[in-house]
Structure formats: C-alpha cells, structure tokens
Amino acid sequence: MGSLFVVKVNIARGANLVGGSSGGDFVQEVRAAAGIDRLIGEYVSLKTSGRKLKGLCPFHDEKTPSFTVDPEKGLFYCFGCQVGGDVFKFYMLHENAQFPDALRELAQRFGVPIPQHRGGSSGEQTRLREMHREAAAFFRSSLASGAGATASRYLARRGLDTDTVQHLKIGYAPDSWDALKSRLRQAGYREEELLKAGLTVPRKDGRGSYDRFRDRLMFPIEQAGGGVIGFGGRILGEGEPKYLNSPETPLFQKGRHFYGLSWSRDAIREADRVIIVEGYTDFASLWQAGVRNVVAVLGTSFTPEHARLLARYTHRAVINFDADRAGRSAADRAVTVLMEHDFELRVLELPDGQDPDGHVRAAGAEAYLKLAAGAPSFIEYVISSACAGRDITTPEAKAQAVADILPRLADLNNRVLLAAAMARIAQRLDLKEADLRAEFRRVAPALRRGEAPPAPARPRPARNCSLAERQLMHLLLTCSDVRREVAGTAREEELRDLPAGHIIMVLLDQERAGHEVTVEGLQALLEKEDQARLLAAVMEDFPGLVAADWKESWHIIQKENLEKESRILQRQLTQSMEEGGDTTDVERLLRRKLEVRRLIETL
C-alpha cells in the first residue's frame, strides 16, 4: 500500500444482521468497544509520543519504531511499510481474516452482543474458530467425565492442580474413533470442515474420516490475542508419537505461534523478558509455580516469525530447552534466529539434565528464576558447546572449537556484541584476538552466503619483494594519507600474486575496517615469512622517498603485472595458433594482448 488506507465500513456490510442494533450501529459498537489503542496494545508494545503512540511495526522488520497509533482518530499507520487503517483493518491484516470474521471475532472478544443472522453463512475462518472452540469444550467435558479418569490421574502425578488445568483449558480426547466427530457433526459442521480444521483424518478407503486425537491429554493452542486455533495431544498409554499437534490449517501454522502466549504476554511485557521452553507440561508447571513470563514452542524449528512475534513484547529471552542432543540442536537454532533479531539472550541448562517441569516442581519458582537470571549469555553458551568433550589445551582442539563457533557469529549484525564475543572467545581459548579476528574475516563472507568456509591458504614459496613493493609497504605503514588513497584504488587481483601481496591486502583490510594500522597489529595477522618481509620494509632506508612517490611505486607494480599477463597471453596465442585453435579464441586472446599493451604504454 503506497498511502494511508482508511477502512470505511458501510451499512451494507452489516445489512444481513438483525437484532439489538442495525448493521451500522453494530460495527460502531465493536469499533468503540475494541478501541484501537487497546487492541493494538495486545500485539505491539506501544509508547506514548505526544498525543500518539509508537511501536515497532508488526507487519515488517524494523529496529526504529515507525508504527504510529492515533487513538483520537482511531487509526494506525506505519511510515516504514505504508500500511494503515482502523481497528478492523489491523485485525484483518494481523490475523489474515476477512471483514465479516474480524467483525464477529472482535465482538466476541470485547463482549458486544452479536445480532442474529437473517441469512447467509459465516466466513470460513469464523467457522474454523467456532469449531475449535466447540472441540476445546468437548475435550474439557471429557476430562471431567468418567472417561477422563486416567487423564486426571496423570495430571495429578505431574502435580498440576485443578486451577491450572481449568485456566489452561486442558482436556481429554476419549479413546474413540469418532467421539469428537459425532459431537461436531451434531453441532452442524460438515465433513469437509472437520478435515480442513485438522480435527479428523480421512480414511484410506476414502469413505469418511475419523478423529485425529484419541486417548490423549489435550492442550488447546491459542493465538496471541486469544482464541483456540489448534491442539497438542499427549498420549497416555504406549505408542507414537508421544506428542501430536494439529496439522497446518488456514488457522494454524506451527512456525508462527507459541503455546501459552495468550496467557503470558502481559507478564512478558511486565518482566521485559521471556523464558522459552519446549513442552506443554514445562509451560504448565512453570505457570502454576508463578513463573508467568514463559512460552513453549510447538515441536518445530524456531523461525523468524517466532522472533518477530516475541519482539512485540520484549527483546530479552532465556532459552531453556532439554539437555539432550535434540534439545541442544533446537536451542542452537533459536539462538541463531533470535540473535539475528537483536535479542539479548541467555541459555539455561538445568542441573543434572533436568527439564523445567521437573526442576520447578522439585526446587520451586524462586530457585528456578535465580538460575534463569544467572544463565550464561549466548556467547558463553556457544563457547561451552564448542569446547565440550575437547581438550582445548591442544592447538588442534582450539582450531576445531573456533571452526564450530565462528559460523554462529557470521550473521551477528551488532558490532559491539561481535567485538565482545571475539574478546571472550580469545580469552577462553587462550588465543590472540587479532588471530581470531583474521580467521573470522577470512571465513565470514562465505558463511553469510551459506557456503563452506574456504580452506586456509597454503604457505607460498619464499620470494623476494621488488623495490617498488618494499617502498609501497614502507609508505603504507608510515603515512595514513597514502593508506587511504591506496585503499580506494588497489584491487585484490592486482596484489594477489605479488610476494608482498598478502601483506598489503591485510594492511588495506585493516584500513578499510577503520582499525589502527601498526606493525605490532599486522605482525599478529601474518605468517612468519610475511612478518619478516614486513619488518624488512619498515626498517629499510629509502633516501628521498616521500608520500607522493606511492603512485610511481604503484604504477611500477601495475606495469609488472601487465607485463606478466602479456607474456602469458603470448604463450597462449602461440600455442593456440600452432594447434590450429578456434579462430574466435585466437581473436579474443589477441584483443586482450593489444589492450594490455595499451595499458602498459599509459603507465
């Protein structure tokens, strides 16, 4: 959208509604009851800015708030992505809903009586939401019935009391092939709707469907603003999978939601920190113990959508996944994604491989929160993971640890955090920080492109530097103006094959990065052979050499490179003509040779 879009709701949109108010009055009642600052405040952390409110836009990635809410006008607008509108437009965009669904759902959320239908049918999303609400109610009633006795005993063994079970709307899916299906069909839902909601599974013979969830403890999954959109079911007997989630549906995508966020979002805002756990019972036990700023992932990899969702409430997180290999892998993924979204991170690994559920029940909320507050930062976690099981007193183990660590830092955009990380890694592994930085600069470009890092360069045979190279190195080391000019002029391909080429490239890299260029600093980045060449150039006397002479030295180097290329081209031409090579190839070589000769003559 290129300009402010204001939703204008006319009477026709509500014309099929009758009852306590006309269609237009009903729309206005819902608009007033929701309140644009009240609704958006449930999704976005807003701060007062004069007579308006500002926050980070939920519709695109940004670090500086450009999303503005005007309560007086009842409008929102983002100056970054140019999306705007009223309370209905916000809900439609955020929840991927059509206007009739948005109107009805906001009315239900904010307690506005819904007029009866004169005709027509509800939108698909509304039907799906109502179906999930009916299913959740059925599961709760099943838990309270005699059929749910085994599930109730399981909850008691896990230490979950009645208040927690009721607050989290935990239920039970009976050990039946069609108990839920029969209830929903009686409520008027069609077979195809049950399948689309993921509540039933089609039979292999194509004749109807059966309940997806059977003999499972049921955890309703709500969207951030409330309303059931899916379920997670834990099996009570033997069998696999242990946990079964709703499939992807028009309402539910695992990579865009958390379990528990609808109940914990206010606590997360208040604490300005979120604790991220893996399981439903982890969440439930922490919630019952009084740790309310918590969410659980839904058995899927951590996604950028997860990070953007949490960023509406806080930019500080503690990751507390299981200590097994799968948990560590999931934690690694979450660390990477959250760091890319500028979160301040800690990674909590509980003693003796405990999970959050077992630990908080044994030690209590106070002990758990103390451990969370003292959990290592992301870089300490990364270093510890890389060093685990290795004797880092050996050079080989240090190299392997660095190879594990650096890919985790490649996408770190915050230069302050990166600098702190480099210093801490060097300290823990007893390395020179300059060496570590040099290795990072070598591998980072490939890692950011998703490629394997290049192999370390093989030592080059010793060659003597020409006078022009030695003079250029001397001037680069002693004159900052020369460094700036050469850094803006020299290309890597002109330096690569020179005896002093690697030294000059490292020196220019330091200049371009804004680092102080010193002999000591460069020595730390170079192999012994190049260290000697560098010192020779520093110590050598060049009578009458002034800063402006760098251009002459540079021209000599360029000319030597071109002369070398000319000789190679001549050999290729001779070989091609003797072997009766392709005419086009001969012409190409000849044109390049003539071009090289012209370049030599201009120097």
The whole-number pLDDT of residue 522 equals: 83
Residue 75 burial class via C-beta count within 10 angstroms: exposed 0-12, middle 13-18, buried 19 and up: buried
Task: Answer yes or no: do 203 and 275 share one domain.
Answer: no
Within 10 angstroms of residue 456's Cβ, the number of other Cβ atoms is 10
Write down the pLDDT at residue 187: 95
What number of other Cβ atoms are within 10 A of residue 119's Cβ? Answer: 6
**Residue 243 and residue 260 share a domain:** no
- Place 532 in a pLDDT band, splitting at 50, 70 and 90: confident
Look up residue 124 and give its two tokens: 């698909």
Residue 90 forms part of a structural domain = yes
Say how many CA atoms lie within 13 Å of 483 toward its Cβ: 21
CA dihedral 461, 466, 470, 471 (to 10 degrees): -160
Residue 35 in this model has a pLDDT that exceeds 80: yes
Q: Which of 107-121, 135-149, 371-385 has the lowest mean pLDDT?
A: 107-121
Residues 273-300 have a mean pLDDT of 95
Q: What is the distance between the alpha carbons of residues 510 and 334, in angstroms, rounded to a whole number?
A: 33
Q: What is the CATH number of the domain that holds 54?
A: 3.90.580.10
pLDDT at 421: 87
Average pLDDT, integer, range 10-38? 64
Question: Residue 453 domain-assigned?
Answer: no
Segment (H or E) for 403: helix 395-409
Residue 338 lies in a domain: yes
At 14 the pLDDT is 39
pLDDT at residue 243 greater than cutoff 80:
yes
The CA distances from residue 484 to 11, 343, 513, 533, in Å, are: 68, 36, 11, 22
Q: What are the beta bridge partners of residue 231?
A: 220
pLDDT given for residue 454 in this prediction: 67
Residue at 1 is within a domain = no
Predicted local confidence at residue 207, as pLDDT:
84
Q: Mapping DSSP to helix (H, G, I), strand (E, B) and coil, where does residue 446 land?
A: helix
Sort strands 67-70 and 52-55 into parallel, antiparallel or unpaired.
antiparallel
Q: Which two tokens stand for residue 165?
A: 């079970």
**189 and 140 both lie in a single domain:** yes
Q: Which pLDDT score is estimated for 40?
A: 93
pLDDT of residue 455: 61
3-state secondary structure of 221: strand
Read off the amino acid at residue 128. L
Do 324 and 349 share a domain, yes or no?
Answer: yes
Q: Are residues 71 and 158 located together in one domain of the fold?
A: no
| Tokens found for residue 476 | 């680069």
pLDDT of residue 458: 45
Of residues 574 and 307, the one with the higher pLDDT is 307
Residue 17 or residue 349, greater confidence: 349
Look at residues 190, 221, 252 and tell me which one is the last residue of a structural domain. 252
- At 474-495, the pLDDT tens digits run 888 888 898 888 888 888 777 8
Q: What is the pLDDT of residue 24?
A: 62
Helix extents (H) in 72-123: 87-95, 99-109
Choose among 218, 61, 73: nearest CA to 139: 218
Pair (246, 275) in one structural domain: no
- The verdict on residue 3 lying in a domain is no
Supply the CATH number for residue 351's domain.
Answer: 3.40.1360.10
474: closest CA among 546, 375, 563?
546
Write the pLDDT tens digit of every residue in 444-460. Answer: 777 777 666 666 544 44
Strand partners, 539: none
- For the chain, the domain total comes to 5
Confidence grade of residue 116 (pLDDT, cut at 50, 70, 90)? low
pLDDT tens per residue across span 345-389: 999 999 988 999 999 999 999 999 999 999 999 889 889 888 888
Query: Which two tokens mark 243?
Result: 């946990």
* Strands 344-347 and 316-319, bridge-based pairing: parallel
Asked if the model's pLDDT at residue 602 lies above 90, the reply is: no
Please give the pLDDT value at position 452.
Answer: 67
Amino acid identity, position 355: D
The 10 Å CB-count burial string (b at 16+, else e) for 249-269 is: bebbbbebbbbbbbbbbebbb
Read off the pLDDT band of 4 (50, 70, 90).
very low
The one-letter amino acid code at 13 reads R
- Residue showing tokens 């077979």: 191
Tell me how far apart the alpha carbons of residues 547 and 557 are, in angstroms, rounded to a whole number. 16
User: What value does the mean pLDDT take over residues 186-211?
Assistant: 93
Out of 99-103, 165-169, 347-351, give the one with best mean pLDDT: 165-169
My answer on whether 21 and 97 are in the same domain is: yes
pLDDT greater at residue 560 or residue 131 = 131
Domain boundary among 232, 252, 272: 252
Q: Report if residue 421 sits inside a domain.
A: yes
Residues 577-589 have a mean pLDDT of: 73
Answer whether residue 477 is part of any domain: yes
- Phi, psi angles (nearest 5°) of residue 441: -65, -30
Same domain membership, residue 285 and residue 352:
yes
Of the three residues 61, 86, 117, the one that is the final residue of a domain is: 117
CB 114: neighbour CB atoms within 10 A? 14
Q: Is residue 544 scored above 70 in pLDDT? A: yes
In a domain, 2, yes or no: no
Lowest mean pLDDT among 203-212, 298-307, 388-397, 565-574: 565-574
**Partners of 68 in beta bridges:** 54, 77
What are 421-437's pLDDT values in tens digits?
A: 899 999 999 998 888 88
Output the furthest CA–CA distance in the chain (Å, rounded): 101
Three-state secondary structure call for residue 126:
helix
Q: Are both 103 and 129 inside the same structural domain? A: no
Question: In terms of residue numbers, what domain contains 498?
Answer: 467-597
**Residues 500, 537: contact at Cβ < 8 Å?**
yes
Query: Are the CB atoms for 213 and 173 separated by under 8 Å?
Result: yes
What is the separation, in whole angstroms, between the first and last Cα of the chain? 55
Mean pLDDT over the full length of the chain: 84
**Which residue type is seen at 586?**
V
3-state secondary structure of 56: coil
Q: Give me the CATH number covering residue 244.
A: 3.90.980.10
Q: What is the pLDDT of residue 450?
A: 67
Domain match, 144 and 245 both: yes
Same domain, 345 and 300: yes
Beta partners for residue 201, in sequence order: 210
If asked whether residues 327 and 248 sit together in one domain, one would say no
Distance CA 213, CA 177 (A): 9
**CATH code, 516:** 1.10.860
| Structure-token match 């390049």, residue found | 592
Distance from the Cα of residue 435 to its chain's centroid: 29
pLDDT at residue 538 greater than cutoff 80 = no
Q: How far is CA 359 from CA 22, 353, 364, in A?
A: 56, 10, 7
Please state the rounded mean pLDDT for residues 398-420: 82
> 552-572 in b/e burial notation, b at 16+ Cβ within 10 A?
ebbebbbbbbbeebbeebeeb
Q: What pLDDT sits at residue 120?
A: 37
